[in-house]
Amino acid sequence: MPELQRLRPDHAPAVLAFEEANRTFFAASVPDRGDDYFTDYPPRHAALLAEQEAGVCHFHVLVESGEILGRFNLMDATAGTAELGFRLAEKATGRGLATSTVNQLLDLCRTTYGLTTLRARAAVRNAASRGVLRRTGFVETGEAVELSGERGVAFVRVLGAGTPG
């Protein structure tokens, strides 16, 4: 069973392997990260950990048998609000893992991170992510967004104390 873990220094090689193995798959639904992302990954990972240590972001990986199956991140956490971003390995799709992991993260937002509202954005062409967001209680805001030059959809999710997942 996959386990959601907070990002750690020792995750760096597995995260890079995950990103490299799924680069083409991700590029079909989200803008590509570019070659520099892969060649300069170690300092990038260290920067993520520094942001996490400062409490600005909360980064997570979904791990199964030492392999990263997904990334689930809460960015720009201020005043009870953060932005959710996630990606799941191609081989892990279709099993409900993204939906169940986002629900698990929603619980962490309330119980551990003190967040009350999450925002998210998804490219119009990324039907899978938009579906996960809807299944986990996010609603479209109607705000037009652009993601690396592509049309996107903005979502919001209010996390009340009594709301599930």
Question: For residue 161, is pLDDT > 70?
Answer: no
Residue 63, Ramachandran bin (φ over 0: left; ψ between -120 and 50: alpha; else beta): beta
pLDDT value at residue 65: 95
Determine what percent of the chain is predicted with pLDDT higher than 90.
84
pLDDT digits over 87-122, tens only?
999 999 999 999 999 999 999 999 999 999 999 999
pLDDT digits over 51-94, tens only?
999 999 999 999 999 999 999 999 999 999 999 999 999 999 99
Query: 73 or 148: which carries more pLDDT confidence?
Result: 73
Contact 86, 121 (CB under 8 A): no
Beta strands in 25-138 (DSSP E): 58-64, 67-78, 81-88, 117-123
pLDDT value at residue 163: 52
- Local confidence band at 149 (pLDDT 50, 70, 90 cut-offs): confident
Domain boundaries, the chain: 3-158
Contact 86, 101 (CB under 8 A): yes
Contact 5, 11 (CB under 8 A): yes
- Local confidence band at 28 (pLDDT 50, 70, 90 cut-offs): confident
- Local confidence band at 148 (pLDDT 50, 70, 90 cut-offs): confident
**Domain range 3-158, CATH class:** alpha beta
Query: Which residues, at least 6 apart from 128, have a Cβ–Cβ distance to it below 8 Å?
Result: 29, 93, 98
Question: For residue 131, is pLDDT > 60?
Answer: yes
